[in-house]
Amino acid sequence: MAEYLEGRENQIVTKGIDSHELVGGKPSVAGSVSQRACVFCGSRVVLYPIADALHLVHGPIGCASYTWDIRGALSSGPELHRSSFSTDLREKNIVFGGQDKLYQALHELIDKHHPKAAFVYSTCIVGVIGDDVQSVCKRVQKEKNIPVVAVMAEGFQGSKKDGYKIACDALFSLVGTDESMDVSPLSINILGDFNLAGELWMLEEYYKKMGIQILAPITGDGRVKKIQNAHRAALNVVQCSGSMIHLAKQMKEKYGIPFIKVSYFGIEDMSDALYEVAKFFKDDSVMDKARELVKDQLTTLIPALEPYKRALQGKKAAIYVGGAFKAISLVKALRLIGMKTVIAGTQTGNTEDYRLLKTICDDGCIMVDDSNPVELSEFVKQTGADLFIGGVKERPIAYKLGIGFCDHNHERKLALAGYDGMLNFAKEVYETVTSPVWQFVNRSTPFDNE
Amino acid sequence: MQKAESIKQKVMPSGDTFASSCNACKQCTPLGACIAFKGLEGVLPMLHGSQGCATYIRRYLISHFREPVDIASSNFSEETTIFGGNKNFNTGIDNIIKQYHPRVIAIASTCLSETIGEDVQRLIFEYQETHNTMPDLPVMIFASTPSYQGTHSEGFHEAVFAAVKTLAEASGPVGDHINLFSNMISPEDIRHLKEIVEDFSIPVVLFPDYSDTLDNTSWDSYRRIPDGGTTVDELKKSALAYASVELGYILNSGGMNGRIKDNGTKQSAGEYLKSKFDVPLVRTGLPVGILESDKFFNALSSISGKAIPMKYQRQRGRLVDLYVDGHKYVSDKRAVIYGEEDLVVALAAFAAEIGIKPVLCASGGESGKLAGTLREVLGKNYYEDMVVGQGMSFERMEEVMQELKPDLMIGNSKGYYIARKMDIPIVRTGFPIHDRLGAQHTHVLGYEGTMILFEQIVNTLLEDKQRKSPVGYKYM
């Protein structure tokens, strides 16, 4: 069994064996090799896909360098988000303050790129040296006549998840500041889809077929103006609730817009996402169209999944992803292709999320919050998993242990949402789990020379 | 922003003249330190600062090396930031020992811990004092790497220096071994250097040696700390070597590096051993191309008193033959070369000796020595219209390239955006390579590595020519 770090006992639960509750939301212990990132990272990844905004990282170069075009978030128009801007602070700025440099940088960049808004991310060091980022932003906003939003996301303030909330606050400051767009009575905002590999465009197709307008995608393929108009939609549809629920709640409180939580991964959750929206509008024709759409999709998808299901039947999967809702969808999607989840962990789930996750996991499944390579590799060995679903940081754990890997993180270039995404997912899982390369690994005596 | 006329100055001003940078051609200092630290046997690196630094750097290194890269963090909270990292440091070390049982814990600071004034050296001392009865207490090494000073390159050399300074001991007679400080090169190139030195029958302490730790075999079970690396004992005897060979002309010698004032205290590992223990220092560049490889092989020959082994003489001969076979495809081509400063110098020297004009040599580094070093090293092959850019970002590089209209880019993956936009081919080498497989196996050093690089360049140009040809062709 893994040697848990002291203080992590209640962050690990085996369903059917342990009676204690899985507690989420705790800070990582010092000295751990956590897979989590920082507050800055949380805010950066949420706001990143807004393609016509300037994203300026105020700090030394690393924070900007490591987040340069890091997401697979696509834009149907401008691509300003794919460049990485930094004030590249040096020692003299640390000693004498970086405010002037920030002010100059904003002017320089706004003049050059004409963004529709600017987000200024404050990093660890800026919080320590005490630059008044907010006042600089206010001043530039007035001078340049575009929203300039201070994202006070100093890394040490907490974990990645705290950064989500800060990003939501930044978005909320834009919402309700424009009324110029045409809005259909059947309009929704999509919250928490980041348009990885064009997934948002697949959803747009679905909703369009149901006669529903997506007013503002937040933040995948995001545009400042759409976000400014977002308060006029009839409904907020929240996918990645870990990152966006705060915004949905704020919009409900101030503008009275109701929200529903959905997921676009797997057949059940994707279909529910369409039905729930149809139900909300209480319009039979919308519901009929939704049913027809789902029927059409499943008629081709179900037979297409069959061969993969046959090959994968009984195989075991380990999941370690960012958010709990994705983990829940993945458990269901894996079940659909005959696979059983034996490890289900996340970086940012809260206690309530884990309660829900537990209801759908099988007995014997190890559930873990804020894990690390030592634990994860032990769990994989212990459970005999055949597949690992995670991000780039989890990839070498899977490969060194000689099992398949599926990237379900923000860097992926393969669409995994929706019905086409389900097929992509099954295909990718099949290709990695059944690859003949595994015959060569985990053999301590490869040569018959004893 | 940068205007076209100013590139006529040839040596461009540093990035300092602009308030912002877009798409940096550098990473931060602790990242470089982590790579160097991974070259120690039994090590677990720890970053003293926020969680994000360790996670970002791990992700970046995993993408490049495609190996597990475990780096712990002391996980600063707001409270730690205000009241100091003492408690986090101690808990962090406790937890690392408990989970990883490392022989070495190598600590690098971050911009955060440096700015709040953490005295890591003292924290280490206090930890060692209070745990002096603990069996197998890990060796602790500390590199000061605030990310607002210098680039990942400086971080790398600072960590090399810190490890040597902490461990080198002058107890005993001078040995028959040499130290080889090999700079920031690929695991494959480290293996090649070891092979060369072995073929000269010279016992060597090569540091940092991440040839296994960052490019390991398939395992039969998961290893928390991968095998391989320079041992603590080897580094201890680095003070007793009869010579040090250091690859790279610039290393961490730069005076600018974002510091307010150069206090002149920066030393490379080789310089430190020379000043403190009288270990003679031989410095050559990274051996890429014939002329620079000759310098390295000659240095080993004179140190060992042995002739250059026939194997390498044959390699050199084949390389010359290959140069002749391919010279027409590269002659007069205009290349942009970018990356770490020492790598840029080495690649430029190679390009120039085969008839490629390095029209732009660019680095995110700001040692202030790039232009001078290039002129000196390239000598008669120096291309007078060469533009040298230090403190460059990819955005500025692109602006210059729009005017220079190069045929080829040689450097890391991050040039891809420009290459795609301008429809010019790119030969990937250096760090980072995130969009191709095999970064850990890039091999450019020595006659053998040069052969591979030369073929890559010629074939890339041929591919480009074929692709753009209206008819295509089979024989070249």
ipTM of the complex model = 0.94
Going by pLDDT thresholds of 50, 70 and 90, the confidence category of residue A153 is very high
Region A390-419: what's the mean pLDDT?
Answer: 94
pLDDT of residue B5: 47
Going by pLDDT thresholds of 50, 70 and 90, the confidence category of residue A158 is confident
Region A21-42: what's the mean pLDDT?
Answer: 91
Give dist(CA B428, CA B414) in Å, integer: 9
Between A and B, how many CB-CB pairs are < 8 A?
Answer: 253
Cβ contacts of A107 on chain B, cutoff 8 Å: 19
> Would the CB atoms of A84 and B22 count as touching at under 8 Å?
yes
> Would the CB atoms of A396 and B66 count as touching at under 8 Å?
yes
Going by pLDDT thresholds of 50, 70 and 90, the confidence category of residue A387 is very high
Same fold, B29-255+265-284 and B322-468: yes
Domain B29-255+265-284 classification at class level: alpha beta
> Would the CB atoms of B52 and A392 count as touching at under 8 Å?
no
Residues 363-392 of A with CB under 8 A from B: 372-374, 377-378, 381, 392
Cβ contacts of A160 on chain B, cutoff 8 Å: 52
Give dist(CA B213, CA B43) in Å, integer: 10
Taking the domain B322-468, which CATH number applies? 3.40.50.1980
Percent of chain A with pLDDT over 90: 89
Q: Which residues contact B257 (CB under 8 A, 6 or more apart)?
A: B149, B150, B151, B154, B365, B366, B367
Q: Which of B236, B309, B336, B249 is nearest to B285 (CA)?
A: B249
In the block, residue with structure tokens 């465009």: A201
Give dist(CA A149, CA B389) in Å, integer: 33
pLDDT of residue A377: 94
Region B297-320: what's the mean pLDDT?
Answer: 97
Smallest Cβ–Cβ distance between B75 and the set A30, A65, A101 belongs to: A30
Query: What is A86-103 written as a DSSP string?
Result: E----HHHHHH-SHHHHH
Residues 86-145 of A with CB under 8 A from B: 86-95, 101-102, 104-105, 107-109, 112, 124-125, 127-129
pLDDT for B3 beyond 50: no
Average pLDDT of chain A?
Answer: 94
pLDDT for B229 beyond 50: yes
pLDDT for B203 beyond 60: yes
pLDDT for A101 beyond 90: yes
Give dist(CA B366, CA B151) in Å, integer: 8
pLDDT of residue B254: 67
Domains recognised in chain A with CATH numbers: 9-26+313-412 (3.40.50.1980), 39-173 (3.40.50.1980), 187-295 (3.40.50.1980)
The alpha-carbon gap from B150 to the nearest alpha carbon of chain A, in Å, equals: 8
Partnered with residue B238 across adjacent β-strands are none
A435 touches chain B (CB under 8 A): no
Can you give A257-294 as a three-state secondary structure string? CCEEECCCCCHHHHHHHHHHHHHHHCCHHHHHHHHHHH
As given in the structure block, the two tokens for residue A84 are 């990485």
> Would the CB atoms of A3 and B73 count as touching at under 8 Å?
no
Angle between helices B289-304 and B341-353 in degrees, nearest 10: 110
Going by pLDDT thresholds of 50, 70 and 90, the confidence category of residue A1 is very low
Smallest Cβ–Cβ distance between A125 and the set B80, B115, B218 belongs to: B115
Cβ contacts of A35 on chain B, cutoff 8 Å: 55
Region A5-24: what's the mean pLDDT?
Answer: 91
Percent of chain B with pLDDT over 90: 87
Going by pLDDT thresholds of 50, 70 and 90, the confidence category of residue B9 is low
Q: Which residue of B has its CA nearest to A2?
A: B99
> Would the CB atoms of B55 and A36 count as touching at under 8 Å?
yes
Q: Check residue B137 and report its DSSP letter.
A: P
Region A59-82: what's the mean pLDDT?
Answer: 94
Going by pLDDT thresholds of 50, 70 and 90, the confidence category of residue A152 is very high
Which DSSP helix (H) or strand (E) runs through B389?
Answer: strand B387-389
8 A C-beta contact, residue B41 and residue B230: yes
The answer for B183, left when phi > 0, alpha when psi is -120 to 50, beta otherwise, is left
pLDDT of residue A410: 87
Which parts of A330-379 are beta strand (E)? 340-346, 366-369
Smallest Cβ–Cβ distance between B56 and the set A56, A66, A381 belongs to: A66
Give dist(CA A123, CA A67) in Å, integer: 13
Lowest-confidence segment of A26-30, A358-362, A419-423, B346-350 by average pLDDT: A26-30
Q: For chain B, what are the domain ranges?
A: 29-255+265-284, 322-468
The answer for A63, left when phi > 0, alpha when psi is -120 to 50, beta otherwise, is alpha
Region A268-273: what's the mean pLDDT?
Answer: 95
pLDDT of residue B328: 97
Region B263-282: what's the mean pLDDT?
Answer: 91
As given in the structure block, the two tokens for residue B258 are 């974002």
Give dist(CA B288, CA B167) in Å, integer: 31
8 A C-beta contact, residue A40 and residue A153: yes
The alpha-carbon gap from B300 to the nearest alpha carbon of chain A, in Å, equals: 37
The alpha-carbon gap from A338 to the nearest alpha carbon of chain B, in Å, equals: 27
Smallest Cβ–Cβ distance between A88 and the set B20, B56, B95 belongs to: B20
Smallest Cβ–Cβ distance between B99 and the set A3, A93, A102 belongs to: A3
> Would the CB atoms of A65 and B27 count as touching at under 8 Å?
yes
8 A C-beta contact, residue B341 and residue B365: yes
Q: Which of B151, B119, B120 is nearest to B31 (CA)?
A: B151
Predicted confidence (pLDDT) per residue in B39-88, tens digit: 999 999 999 999 999 999 999 999 999 999 999 999 999 989 999 889 99
Give dist(CA A278, CA A186) in Å, integer: 10
pLDDT for A133 beyond 50: yes
Q: Which of A243, A71, A246, A247 is nearest to A160 (CA)?
A: A243
A447 touches chain B (CB under 8 A): no
pLDDT for A450 beyond 70: no
> Would the CB atoms of A396 and B259 count as touching at under 8 Å?
no
Smallest Cβ–Cβ distance between A30 and the set B88, B224, B417 belongs to: B88
Smallest Cβ–Cβ distance between A37 and the set B24, B55, B221 belongs to: B55
As given in the structure block, the two tokens for residue A9 are 């006992």
Smallest Cβ–Cβ distance between B222 and the set A84, A104, A401 belongs to: A401
Residues 45-84 of A with CB under 8 A from B: 56, 59-69, 83-84
Q: Which residues contact B394 (CB under 8 A, 6 or more apart)?
A: B22, B23, B24, B25, B414, B415, B417, B418
pLDDT of residue B262: 65
pLDDT of residue B19: 82
Cβ contacts of B76 on chain A, cutoff 8 Å: 124, 155-156
As given in the structure block, the two tokens for residue A318 are 């380990």
Cβ contacts of A155 on chain B, cutoff 8 Å: 50-53, 76, 112
Region B232-242: what's the mean pLDDT?
Answer: 97
Predicted confidence (pLDDT) per residue in A316-344, tens digit: 999 999 888 899 999 999 999 999 999 99
In the block, residue with structure tokens 């005017």: B403
B222 CB neighbour count, 10 Å cutoff: 19
pLDDT of residue B14: 57
Smallest Cβ–Cβ distance between B71 and the set A28, A33, A37 belongs to: A33
Query: What is B155-180 written as a DSSP string?
Result: HHHHHHHHHHHHH----S---S-EEE
Q: Which of A215, A245, A210 is nearest to A232 (CA)?
A: A215
pLDDT of residue A403: 95
pLDDT of residue B1: 38
Which DSSP helix (H) or strand (E) runs through B434?
Answer: none
A36 touches chain B (CB under 8 A): yes
pLDDT of residue B261: 66
> Would the CB atoms of A89 and B63 count as touching at under 8 Å?
no
Percent of chain A with pLDDT over 70: 98
8 A C-beta contact, residue B245 and residue B179: yes
